[in-house]
Amino acid sequence: MAHDQAAYEARVQFAWQDALEWAKRGDRRSLVALLRGEQQLSEREVLDFLADLVEGKFKWPRGKPAQRPESTFAMDTNGKIVWVDKRDATVLEMRKWVSENRRSLGNGVYEAAAKHFGMDSESEKVIESIATLCRRSINSRVRSRSSA
């Protein structure tokens, strides 16, 4: 029974911390839901944040709020199933297709990839973008996003 209570408290604490982090990035939905919910608020960090907010010490970020990642399963170039951001799933699929067809298509692999994935295969900019996506690692894509 004590183990169940400790696990529950850990989940609640994680939910508050996650909601607080996203609220600081501009996405207040989960924090508002927790504040209006049945959960008891005892997280010191959340209470300090709310006090700073009321006193006007915290300024909301300008512009659009950070986009929460939507995760999904995808297969990487090695055939391994991975848990990735949905924005990266197509990139992984494209990279896998390019690596499988590079030998048979040679230098025209990026144009063929553009055609295969329904992109403008005549545009040099599209071809260059596909080549860049296939060369860059997924980690560098994640770091370059503004959601951090």
Q: Output the CA angle 132-138-144, nearest 5 degrees.
A: 80
Q: Is the pTM of this model over 0.75?
A: no
φ and ψ at residue 71, rounded to 5 degrees: -95, 155
Is it the case that residue 137 has pLDDT exceeding 70?
A: no
List the structure tokens of 144. Answer: 């370059």
| DSSP structure class, residue 123 | -
The per-residue pLDDT for range 6-62, each reduced to its tens digit, is: 777 777 778 888 888 888 888 878 888 888 877 777 777 888 888 888 778 887 778
Return the domain boundaries, the chain. 2-55, 71-144
Q: Specify the residue for token string 């170039």.
A: 77
Compute the average pLDDT of residues 108-114.
Answer: 86
φ and ψ at residue 41, rounded to 5 degrees: -95, 115
